[in-house]
Amino acid sequence: MKNGLLLGVLLFASSVFSQVLSENFEGLGGALPVGWASVSTTPGSGDFNTGDAVAANAGGFWPVPVSSDFAMVIDDVCNCDLSAAYLVSPVMDFTGLTGVVLNYDFVDDITYGPSLPHQVEVSTNLGASWTSIYTYTVDNGNLNWQSNTISLGAMTDGASSVMVRWFYNDGGNWATGLAIDNVVINVSPSNDAQLDAVVLNRWALVGSSNTLSAQVTNVGSNVINSLEMDWNDGSPHPQTMVLSIAPGVTVTVFHPDAVTYATAVELNINVTITQVNGGADGDPSNNTGSALHNTLSQQTVKAVVIEEGTGTWCGWCPRGEVAMSYMYTTYPNDFIGIAVHNGDPMTLTEYDTGGGISGFPGCNVDRALLGESVSQTAFEQFYSDRITLGVPANIEAIVSGVGSTVNIDVSATFYTPVSAGDFRLAVVVSENGVTGTTAAYSQANYYSGGAQGPMGGYESLTDPVPAVDMVYDHVGRALLGGYDGQVGSVPGTIVDGTVANFMFNYTVPGTSNRNNMHAIALLIDNSTGEIVNATDVSINEIFSSVETIDAINLRVYPNPASDNVNVSFEGEGDFTITLTDMRGRIVSTNKYDNLSGIQTIAVSVSNLETGNYIISVATEGASYNQKVFVK
């Protein structure tokens, strides 16, 4: 039970509103409540029953994000391909009642379906006939709980035999079901605004103007023509907004007073609807909300992390590899992609389980958007939506160690106070150029032959693509600190300027090539599970942290550099100077022949983005490296 609703059928003759029915499906051991019914085209296998998230997820349903009981119908667990499944309420008497409203929570998995979302229907003649009053507007891939408020309509006013039912139809496709919870049917006051959610940037630069908005539903019987809404940080900011919200409609209301602070602060912003249509709200119990807001003393740099669920058995998964390659080519500096394999020889069980991706290909975006679709267009939209978000800290990683020993020193520098945080550092080790010789490394390919359109060349390959022709990149190989991050790696109380450090150690297995591997350092907010920020560095040995190299008296200055960096060294013969970013990509390379004595060579860095780079001076099989910071 998420909202503390009471079990059973309740009648209140005198209260703020008249409640007809309230049901949360708790503690019923799989059965429906008395008076409720399930009607299905496949009785016994596609019926609605009650259960919790553990039962639903174990049954292959979807990653339902709570553990409370709810009513659910699971389709593809029984492979029913349901064309009709109904959850039917008890008969209710609305004699003397008008303007009755239905409220309920739901998860509708239509990710793989043909856009056939659930419907709500009512009957006033004991089920002899039904009228549809609502169809869910498809939000493809949204596997989170949502709340809904619907007017049951004038046909139910005063009726003595009212029933409500939820209709589920997957059209013979792969949608896996519908979950219903916290059903409340009541008569709302004439003027009743419900504050569903407060939306405000969590992280914002000091001095910036941030718009506060609220999701507001009209759960009353009158049209809402005006709202007075106040946000309060210790000082009130009441404003009256003129608008028009019909009964049962949800809108976004923008408060005209911007939220802005001149210093780095953390504040809980409380929001209250104080008046509706110029008077008191008929039910003030649903009028409040809040949002946490932090300002940053310094601008931070964000990366977007997409963890893509894939497998060699998955014929649609080449779409993910093509999308990943496009993103790395188009956004090389702040996109990070990781292939989380499932059911093949590259599977890392802890990663596959932690990610919880149930549809393939599927992806998690910054672990904030879960179970999302995979395509070049989708990836680019995710990146565009999230790259400009504020983040509380910059994150860096420095690699050291030789041979199979890798040390990764991860640090996060915070630019805002956090009074009670649960941040954690973690590292994902990934590998490019992975190959195999067995049939399990062959890639299923439903794009073969071109009937599904172009797909990065896969349309010209066979199905499956033989293992000998496949090379897998961005493969998640290890989780250092675990999927949720290293406990205790970041203090709970943070002030502006706090630097959190943790040294992760990794031994490269003999089956992997260190030169093709990367350390992806993550800052995770364990209170939400989101990846707050990340950085990607190569663990190639040339990126191990080194200082002045005595063998050739290598010096790199100035450091930090902004226009040119001088590379000074001493020796005789042919030399190659290479500048590489921390992902192992060559930025510039130049060869100098027949050198003798002390050399000072200027390398331009004026067109590079801020960050760490490696200067490598190579001659006759030896390479000397030093890190330089470009500001």
Q: What is the DSSP letter of 419?
A: S
How far apart are alpha carbons 9 and 184 in whole angstroms?
10
Q: What is the pLDDT of residue 82?
A: 60
DSSP 376-418: HHHHHHHHHHHTTS--SEEEEEEEE--TTEEEEEEEEEE-S-B
Domains of the chain and CATH, by start:
18-187 (2.60.120.200), 193-296 (2.60.40.10), 546-630 (2.60.40.3080)
Region for 524 from its dihedrals, namely left if φ exceeds 0, alpha if ψ lies in -120 to 50, beta otherwise: beta
Q: What percentage of the chain has pLDDT greater than the value 70?
A: 86
- The low-confidence residues of the chain, meaning pLDDT below 50, are 1-17, 61-63, 75-80, 110-115, 546-548
Q: What is the pLDDT of residue 172?
A: 58
For 195, list phi and psi in degrees, rounded to 5: -85, 105
* Residues 74-115: tens digit of each pLDDT: 544 444 456 678 899 999 999 988 888 898 988 876 444 444
Q: Are 195 and 201 in contact (CB under 8 A)?
A: no
3-state secondary structure of 480: strand
For 259, list phi and psi in degrees, rounded to 5: -95, 115
* Residues 235-254: tens digit of each pLDDT: 999 999 999 999 888 999 99
Q: Are 364 and 357 in contact (CB under 8 A)?
A: yes
Is pTM beyond 0.85? Reply is: no
